[in-house]
Amino acid sequence: MVVLFWVCAIVLVGTAIAVVGSRQPVHSVVGLIVNFSALAVLFLTLSAEFLAMMQIIIYAGAILVLFLFVIALLTVGNQPIETGEGRLAHQTVPAIAAGVAALGLIAFGVRTAWSQSAASPPADLGTVPAFGTALLTTHVFAFEATAFVLLVAIIGVVLMAGRKEIRF
């Protein structure tokens, strides 16, 4: 398990750097696919089997396909798009500052959670019944609120993208 963790960790960090660093948008997407798959393996080592499968089906399998779809449609050529005049200037310092701040926040959160976590999780942790029960009873408010936010987003997209076709 420890070996698996370190392999996944190295793959995760490596592909994350590849996502940010590569000049070709499609290479970034490929890096992100590998990254999400490694994350799913990491979930599996934490016995979160349902979450791991959802990570692959939804994120690696559906959302990134859409990323690839849009990027392939927009940038058919091999040339990277951000080298021209339109490239944003003075991004390095704010990016590093934001990255360090986010890392600090995550480290603080993990430390807090670590000190509060139980010694051994329940045996059925992460199985489909346990996950579903928690989602639709304990956390049902957050679940429904997220669904509502997504619905608003969908309506917004339809309104903005379909505006040309609506004539009154």
Q: Is residue 116 at the binding interface for another protein, with CB under 8 A as the rule?
A: no
For the chain, give the longest Cα–Cα distance.
63
Q: Is residue 61 at the binding interface for another protein, with CB under 8 A as the rule?
A: yes
Instruction: Kindly report the three-state secondary structure assignment for every residue of 8-67.
Output: HHHHHHHHHHHHHHCCCHHHHHHHHHHHHHHHHHHHHHCCCHHHHHHHHHHHHHHHHHHH
SS3 of residue 2 by DSSP: helix
What's the Cα-to-Cα distance from 92 to each of 17, 35, 97, 113, 136, rounded to whole Å?
15, 23, 9, 32, 43
Q: Is residue 130 at the binding interface for another protein, with CB under 8 A as the rule?
A: no
Which listed range, 9-17, 65-73, 92-100, 155-163, lies at the site for another protein (CB under 8 A)? 65-73
In the set 33, 38, 39, 42, which binds another protein (CB under 8 A)?
33
In the set 20, 23, 69, 95, which binds another protein (CB under 8 A)?
69
Q: Is residue 127 at the binding interface for another protein, with CB under 8 A as the rule?
A: yes
Q: Is residue 22 at the binding interface for another protein, with CB under 8 A as the rule?
A: no
Residues that bind another protein (CB under 8 A): 24, 26-27, 30, 33, 37, 40, 49-50, 53-54, 56-57, 60-62, 65-66, 68-69, 72-73, 76-78, 127-128
